[in-house]
């Protein structure tokens, strides 16, 4: 089997370059080890008239990266428009932030169709396509229009909001129905999967039975596959990173003070304002903690040309400056606020240096920062994770200190508890979380999705046995494709 993975943003195999978003970080080790082709946007645009849409094809571990210049006329409407100003806010239950036009929807559909045409370059009988995230909801249907009969799976990295919220997306019925062209649709949590099934039932009149739905495309399976991380790899990276110059400088700057850390894209779903308010409340209610702890908040800007993101950046800068102005001292800054990205290696070292990890989104598909913070800890002296109940990760990391990100006082109290927690309790909680992380690591996510996609196809399209030569086992766990990208690139 040959696997072609498609996402808008891709990652490069450069450990010292900043990585934006959980999707890229999660897929990188999977592609490197499995030998898949990863197709995505180059970040550049072209007029779309050229015969060869791929700007660049390079190797990535055992796999390959194939980058497309997306059509200039449609890129803005697709990315800043429909994907990030209609779908993203709705998926995160912020339909009040939807701002799109008919042109944006048309551009989104055009880019999905463009990607489908480009993917024909890799189409062979043994290819499986695996589409990632909300940028490409209609890609499966576009491939079917081009008569592609291969298995096509889809995984959503964000939450799926309840049906009445999703019905605020212009053209939602037409668009969401196209998703039934996929053989398998994967979600982060059971709740997301149930919300999607609810949408199909209540808005489109389908019957979902045992996680299966029949449409004019055929049968589609719906299931949850909580995404994980490369636990051992990340732990090793965190241990090595301690000697990284940025990490050493951070540790030296602490002078015995303790550190809380937050690392997020600058996004309204991440609960950044409430987190800063919680620290403000902490220093107000427990003034003895002043000068003993500070928050390092890294907020990497993305989607900056969208109004809601620009507004958040201003509001956050103002709030941080207000809190620092009121609580700070000549030699102590309560909130160390950085508007830039860091490499995975540097972040791993920062996490290991921090006594508390604060991950408090208002709504988040999974949140891999929570998992990375846990994996980075020193087993003898682990830090404490403070985690929002609205992050998908809270379903698994139940021994974190779980908070409601809308309850500022509750968060302030919990951060205080985290700082006071004795080592034996920290170790017990951390060990329980590590057990969960190891059981649901990235390899497990990958293998279970692909195995479910294969078994779904066996039910829906019983076909002569596909050639299985070249299959091997990757790491621990079940059989997974193993294939060399070079065979499909020529
Ligand atoms: C989230 C999305 C990803 C996206 C990432 C970064 O994690 O689920 O699909 O790549 O954010 O967003 P950006 O718009 O900067 O690519």
Q: What is the pLDDT of residues 337-355, one digit of tens each?
A: 999 999 999 999 999 999 9
Average pLDDT for 55-83: 95
- Give me the pLDDT at residue 457, please: 84
- Give me the pLDDT at residue 19, please: 77
Residues 268 and 178 in one domain: no
Q: Is residue 155 part of a domain?
A: yes
pLDDT band at 486 (very low <50, low <70, confident <90, very high): very low
Residue 48 has pLDDT above 70, yes or no: no
Domain span including residue 260: 231-439
- Give me the pLDDT at residue 275, please: 99
- Give me the pLDDT at residue 54, please: 83
pLDDT band at 467 (very low <50, low <70, confident <90, very high): very low
- Give me the pLDDT at residue 481, please: 36
Average pLDDT for 320-336: 97
Q: Is residue 413 part of a domain?
A: yes
**pLDDT tens per residue, range 187-213:** 999 999 999 999 999 999 999 999 999
- Give the Cα separation of 256 and 261 in Å (integer): 16
Residue 105 has pLDDT above 50, yes or no: yes
Residues 237 and 218 in one domain: no
pLDDT band at 473 (very low <50, low <70, confident <90, very high): very low
Indicate which residues carry an active-site annotation: 157, 364
One-letter-per-residue 3-state SS of 158-219:
CCCCCHHHHCCCCCHHHHHHHHHHCCEEEECCHHHHHHHHHHHHHHHCCCEECCEEEECCEE
Residue 489's H or E segment, with its range, is: helix 485-489
pLDDT band at 474 (very low <50, low <70, confident <90, very high): very low
- Ligand 1 atom 11 nearest Cα: 21
Mean pLDDT of the chain: 93
Residues 324 and 176 in one domain: no
- How many CA atoms are closer than 13 Å to the CA of 436, on its beta-carbon side? 20
Average pLDDT for 98-118: 97
Average pLDDT for 391-413: 98
Residue 428 has pLDDT above 50, yes or no: yes
Structure tokens at 348: 């791993």
**pLDDT tens per residue, range 138-157:** 999 999 999 999 999 999 99
**Residue ending a domain, choose from 209, 224, 239:** 224
Q: What 3-state class would DSSP assign to 435?
A: helix
pLDDT band at 432 (very low <50, low <70, confident <90, very high): very high
pLDDT above 90 coverage of the chain, percent? 86
The residue to mutate among 10, 11, 22, having the most atoms of ligand 1 within 8 angstroms of its beta carbon, is 22
Which residues approach ligand 1 with their CB closer than 6 A?
A: 9, 20-24, 133, 157-158, 265, 302-303
Q: What is the CATH number of the domain that holds 363?
A: 3.40.50.2000
Residue 49 has pLDDT above 80, yes or no: no
- Ligand 1 atom 16 nearest Cα: 9
Residues 295 and 171 in one domain: no
| Lowest-confidence pick of 44-48, 176-180, 201-205, 277-281 | 44-48
| Lowest-confidence pick of 155-169, 261-275, 366-380, 449-463 | 449-463
pLDDT band at 15 (very low <50, low <70, confident <90, very high): low
- Give me the pLDDT at residue 13, please: 63
CA of 324 to the centre of ligand 1 (A): 30
CA of 22 to the centre of ligand 1 (A): 7
- Give me the pLDDT at residue 477, please: 29
One-letter-per-residue 3-state SS of 301-324:
CCCCCCHHHHHHHHHHHHHHHHHH
- Give me the pLDDT at residue 47, please: 83
Residues 255 and 377 in one domain: yes
Number of domains in the chain: 2
Residues 369 and 323 in one domain: yes
- Give me the pLDDT at residue 489, please: 52
- Give the Cα separation of 105 and 74 in Å (integer): 10
Residues 73 and 169 in one domain: yes
pLDDT band at 394 (very low <50, low <70, confident <90, very high): very high
Average pLDDT for 159-178: 98
Residues 219 and 240 in one domain: no
- Ligand 1 atom 5 nearest Cα: 21
Q: Is residue 474 part of a domain?
A: no
- Give me the pLDDT at residue 63, please: 93
Average pLDDT for 463-481: 38
- Give me the pLDDT at residue 475, please: 31
**Residue ending a domain, choose from 224, 254, 272:** 224
Residue 468 has pLDDT above 80, yes or no: no
Residues 281 and 342 in one domain: yes
Residues 302 and 384 in one domain: yes
Residue 463 has pLDDT above 90, yes or no: no
The residue to mutate among 157, 308, 359, having the most atoms of ligand 1 within 8 angstroms of its beta carbon, is 157
- Give me the pLDDT at residue 228, please: 98
Average pLDDT for 15-32: 85
Q: What 3-state class would DSSP assign to 33?
A: helix
Q: Is residue 463 part of a domain?
A: no
**pLDDT tens per residue, range 367-393:** 999 999 999 999 999 999 999 999 999
Residues 212 and 245 in one domain: no
CB 356 within 8 A of CB 386: yes
How deeply is 182 buried, as exposed, middle or buried, from its count of CB atoms within 10 A (0-12, 13-18, 19+)?
buried
Residue 485 has pLDDT above 70, yes or no: no
Q: Is residue 445 part of a domain?
A: no
- Give me the pLDDT at residue 480, please: 34
Residue 324 has pLDDT above 60, yes or no: yes
The residue to mutate among 76, 88, 90, 133, having the most atoms of ligand 1 within 8 angstroms of its beta carbon, is 133
Nearest atom in ligand 1 to the alpha carbon of residue 22 is 7
Residue given tokens 């988040």 in the structure block: 364
Residue positions counted in the chain: 490
């Amino acid at each position: 089997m040959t696997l072609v993975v498609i996402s808008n943003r891709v990652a490069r195999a450069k450990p010292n370059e900043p990585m934006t978003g959980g999707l890229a970080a999660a897929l990188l080790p999977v592609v490197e080890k499995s030998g898949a082709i990863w197709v995505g946007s180059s970040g550049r645009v072209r007029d779309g008239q050229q015969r060869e849409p791929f700007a660049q094809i390079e190797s990535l571990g055992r796999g390959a990266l194939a980058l497309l210049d997306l059509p200039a006329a449609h890129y803005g409407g697709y990315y800043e428009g429909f994907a990030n100003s209609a779908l993203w806010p709705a998926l995160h239950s912020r339909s009040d932030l939807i701002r799109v036009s008919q042109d944006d929807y048309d551009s989104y559909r055009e880019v999905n169709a463009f990607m489908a045409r480009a993917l024909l370059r890799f189409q062979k009988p043994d290819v499986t396509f695996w589409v990632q995230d909300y940028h490409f909801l209609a890609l499966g249907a576009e491939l079917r229009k081009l008569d592609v009969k291969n298995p096509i799976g889809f995984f959503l990295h964000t939450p799926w909001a309840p049906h009445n919220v999703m019905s605020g997306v212009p053209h939602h019925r037409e668009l969401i129905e196209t998703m039934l062209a996929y053989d398998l649709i994967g979600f982060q949590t059971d709740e997301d999967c149930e919300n999607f099934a609810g949408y199909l039932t209540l808005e489109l009149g389908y019957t979902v039975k045992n996680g299966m739905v029949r449409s004019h495309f055929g049968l589609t399976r719906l299931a949850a596959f909580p995404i994980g991380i490369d636990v051992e790899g990340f732990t090793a990276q965190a241990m090595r990173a301690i000697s990284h110059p940025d990490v050493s400088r951070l540790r030296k700057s602490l002078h015995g003070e303790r550190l809380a850390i937050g690392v997020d894209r600058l996004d309204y779903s991440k609960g950044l304002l409430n987190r800063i308010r919680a620290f403000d409340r902490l220093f107000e209610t427990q003034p003895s903690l002043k000068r003993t702890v500070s928050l390092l908040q890294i907020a990497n800007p993305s989607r900056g040309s969208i109004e809601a993101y620009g507004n958040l950046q201003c509001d956050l800068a103002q709030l941080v400056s207000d809190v620092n102005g009121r609580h700070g001292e000549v030699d102590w800054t309560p909130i160390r606020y950085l508007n830039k990205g860091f490499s995975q290696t540097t972040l791993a070292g920062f996490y290991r240096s921090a006594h508390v990890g604060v991950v408090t989104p208002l709504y988040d598909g999974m949140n891999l920062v929570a998992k990375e913070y846990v994996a980075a800890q020193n087993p003898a002296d682990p830090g404490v994770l403070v985690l929002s109940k609205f992050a998908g990760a809270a379903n698994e990391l139940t021994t974190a200190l779980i908070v409601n990100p809308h309850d500022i006082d509750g968060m302030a109290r919990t951060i205080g508890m985290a700082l006071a927690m004795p080592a034996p309790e920290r170790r017990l909680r951390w060990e329980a979380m590590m057990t969960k992380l190891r059981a649901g690591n990235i390899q497990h996510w990958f293998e279970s999705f692909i195995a479910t996609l294969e078994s779904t196809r066996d039910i829906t399209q019983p076909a002569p046995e596909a050639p299985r030569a070249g299959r091997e086992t990757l790491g621990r766990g079940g059989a997974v494709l193993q294939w060399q990208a070079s065979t499909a690139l020529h």
